[in-house]
Structure 1
């Protein structure tokens, strides 16, 4: 049995979802009621046809733009692991932008170059440039990598109360079995 074809509205939802990955707003922009957009988006995103089309379009976009999950992780790693010493020559002078290696250049979020003069009027003489590099937020990049690698989840598991975890495990295995046998399973759709 083949997959059902998506409606024009559902296809529009997919197009809108690819813009910002916000289901509720995508549903509204696709023409669904603002009042029920959250529930509609949730239902749409569970449909296999929608998920398949989203995956295909995301892959197409990744191929077209060369922005892949691997590339995004690489860029986050460049920011997170940035070493400011690489902005300087061995003598302590700042490197020019063309002298920076790719990883260091990726961490630079802005450059300000000011001409420096001494004297005034006819006696004014150019003495050099003042270079100011602004670098991306390292903590933000580290936090994103922590989340990607599940490091917060591991940390949170270490902070749980062992007694609560034991009781939770027993409730699901021992008490849950009796409740299910008695017909008390409320999670069934």
Structure 2
């Protein structure tokens, strides 16, 4: 009930970049049929179980899982910057939590000395639109392809006259 070495190598390669054709080639399968081979291997219950077990192990080791990713995207998507940063001084508010600060992509502080000292601050947040897009995709809010659903009975009508001397 175990995998062959080649199947195991394919699964390990697939876990690197989740590219089936490339994984099949790197595992030693024929480049000419790599896409078909990858599809077949990914549909194999034993290969799939091995991949799922490795992914679960990786998730446990790194602490990265679907729930955490969705939580991070939601944090970015729904953050109100005015609750985190003083809009006049660009300084973080005392009430900003570690969760809020995790949505900050970068902070720049530039001090200019001259007759008067000036401080320029720039706070950039993670991309809110991208986070919303990824959350929307996760919850199937928009499709990348058109889906047509037609229901109804099909009736075939034979309206060709019989015996008219023509062979159809």
Shorter-chain TM-score: which interval? 0.7 to 0.9
* Cα deviation, residue 128, structure 1: 5.3
Q: 1:129 aligns with which of 115, 119, 134?
A: 119
* Cα deviation, residue 49, structure 1: 0.5
Q: Secondary structure at the match of 1:32?
A: coil
* Cα deviation, residue 27, structure 1: 1.3
> Which ranges of 4 or more aligned residues in structure 1 deviate by more than 6 Å?
none
CA distance in structure 2 between the aligned counterparts of 1:108 and 1:98, rounded to whole angstroms:
15
Alpha-carbon RMSD: 2.4
* Ranges in structure 1 where 5+ consecutive residues have no aligned partner: 120-124, 176-189
In structure 2, what is the equivalent of residue 112 of structure 1? 108
Q: From the two aligned structures, give the one with the greater helix fraction.
A: 1
CA distance in structure 1 between the aligned counterparts of 2:66 and 2:3, rounded to whole angstroms:
27
Q: TM-score, normalised by structure 2?
A: 0.79
Query: Contact 1:87/1:94 (CA < 8 Å) preserved in 2?
Result: no
Q: Deviations over 1:156-176 (max 9, x none)?
A: 77xx6xxxx4xx3225xx56x
* Residue 38 of structure 2 corresponds to residue 48 of structure 1: no
* Cα deviation, residue 130, structure 1: 2.2
CA distance in structure 2 between the aligned counterparts of 1:83 and 1:50, rounded to whole angstroms:
44
Q: Deviations over 1:170-189 (max 9, x none)?
A: 25xx56xxxxxxxxxxxxxx
Q: TM-score, normalised by structure 1?
A: 0.71
Instruction: Tell me the matched-pair count.
Output: 153
